[in-house]
Amino acid sequence: MATIAVLGTFDTKGDEHGYVAGLIQGRGHRVLRIDVGTLGEPRLGSEITREEVATAGGGDLAEVAVRRDRGEAVALMTRGAPVVLARLQREGRIDGVISLGGGGGTAICTAAMRALPMGFPKLMVSTLASGNTAPYVGVKDIVMMPSVVDVAGLNRVSRRLLAQAAGAICGMVEARIPDGTQDRPVIVASQFGNTTPCVTHAREVLEAAGYEVMIFAATGIGGRTMESLVESGIVSGVLDITTTEWADELVGGVLTAGPTRLEAAARAGVPAVIAPGCLDMVNFGEPSTVPERYRGRRFYHHNAQVTLMRTNPEECAELGRILAEKVNLSTGPVTVVLPLGGISVISAPGQPFHWPEADAALFGEWKRHLRPDIRVVEYPGNINDPAFAELCVAELLALCGTGK
C-alpha cells in the first residue's frame, strides 16, 4: 500500500480532487490531501492545510486574504508547496503525487512537483497540458495529462478522464524495476545529430566496460536535464561531447540551455571530459525565422524546420573564452579533448561548415584562457572518428579511476 499526495486548490476544485482521492483509496492506497487553495472556503478536508503551506512559503494567508490579491496568494502558495512536498518526500511520507488544475493550480502544483527527484511519480491533469508545457515541466519527469474539459465539476467526460488519471498514478507507484538493472555506475553524455556516430561508439565502449550510459540531446532542455541529473548525485562521470547549446546561448539561437550550462559537473566535482561538439552551428527554425542581421551568413538547411548557421571566427573565439571560464570552475578531474579535423559531421574537410580559421579561433582561445593544471588532448581527426570516441572514453575512465 502506497501513500499518494492529492494536491490542489480545494476551494475551486475540491469536489474533483475528492473524487480522485476516493478512486485511489478504492484501489487500496492511502491518500494525503494537501490544500493550496487561496481565497475561497475549501470544499474538501485536508491533512495539510493551506495555512501550513503558506507558512512554509514565508507568509500569512490570512493577511493575503484580506487584500483579496489572487496573484499574491498564488505566488505565496507557489513558494510554499515545493517546500512542503519535498519535505514529505524526504521523510518517506508520500510515494507519488497527483493534482488537477487550471492556470493557477497548474502553476502552483507543478512548481511543487519540480522540487521532487526524478523517478518519483508525478501526474498533473491540466487545462494547459495541450499547449507549451515547458514552463511547468522544466527538467523534471512530470506527466501532464490534458483535462479536455475544464476542471470545473464532474460530468461524463471528466469522470472518465479523472478515473484514468487516478489509475495512472496508482500504476506509477505500483511499478517495480526488475532487480539488477540499477547496479552499474552512471555516465551521462550529450549528443546532437551531427555527433551521433561519436557518442554511439562511446556508449558501446562504456557499456562494455560496465557503465550505464544516459544520452541527452543537446537541444536546450536536454542539456538542462543532463545538468540536473548531475546535480542529483547519481552520476559517476560526464562525457560532454556536444556543447553546442553554448553557441545558441551566445549568438541567439533557439536551442540554448542557459548561462549555467557546463557548471553542474564542475561545481559537483564529477569527473568530466569536455569536447566542442557542434559549436560550429547555431540553430534557427525555418529560413524565415533567421534574424535579419544574419543575412548573408553561411547556412545549412538541415530540414524544412531547422536552419543551421555557421559560427564565424569572432563568435568561435568568444565561445572558447566562455567554455574555458566554465571548465575553470571544475573542482574535480576534467579533461578537454579537441578534434582538430572538425567538430561536427558538416565541418569536416569538404563539408559545408568546414572553416579551419573559425575552429582555430575556438581552440586557441579555449586553451589560452584555460587553467594551466587542466589537461588538454588534441586529436588530429574529426569528432566522429571511432578513434576520437575511444580517446574520450579512455580519458574519462582514467579520470574515474577505472582506466587501464
pLDDT (tens digit per residue) in 25-45: 999 999 999 999 987 899 999
Decide: helix, strand or coil at residue 95: coil
* Residue 55 burial class via C-beta count within 10 angstroms: exposed 0-12, middle 13-18, buried 19 and up: middle
Query: Fold for domain 186-400?
Result: Rossmann fold (3.40.50)
- The predicted pLDDT at position 180 comes to 58
Residue 302 has pLDDT above 90, yes or no: no
pLDDT (tens digit per residue) in 127-142: 999 888 888 998 899 9
pLDDT (tens digit per residue) in 97-108: 999 999 999 999
**Alpha carbon distances (Å) from 180 to 177, 183, 212:** 9, 6, 12
Decide: helix, strand or coil at residue 182: coil
Q: Considering only CA atoms, give the Rg of the chain.
A: 24
pLDDT (tens digit per residue) in 222-274: 999 999 999 988 999 999 999 999 999 999 999 999 999 999 999 999 999 99
pLDDT (tens digit per residue) in 48-64: 999 999 999 998 887 87
Average pLDDT over residues 189-217: 96
Distance of CA 19 to the CA centre of its chain: 32
- The predicted pLDDT at position 404 comes to 43
Q: What band does 65 get if pLDDT is binned at 50, 70 and 90?
A: confident
Q: What is the mean pLDDT of the chain?
A: 94
Q: What is the rounded CA–CA span in Å between residue 400 and residue 333?
A: 8
- Domain range list for the chain: 3-174, 186-400
The yes or no reply on domain 3-174 and CATH 3.10.20.30 is no
Residue 289 has pLDDT above 50, yes or no: yes
Residues pairing with 98 in the sheet? 6, 123
Spatial strand order in the sheet of 122-126: 30-35, 3-8, 96-101, 122-126, 143-146
Grid cell listed for 235: 552520476
Query: What does the angle CA 170 – CA 176 – CA 182 come to, to the nearest 5 degrees?
Result: 140
3-174 shares its CATH topology with 186-400: yes
pTM of the model: 0.77
Average pLDDT over residues 202-229: 95
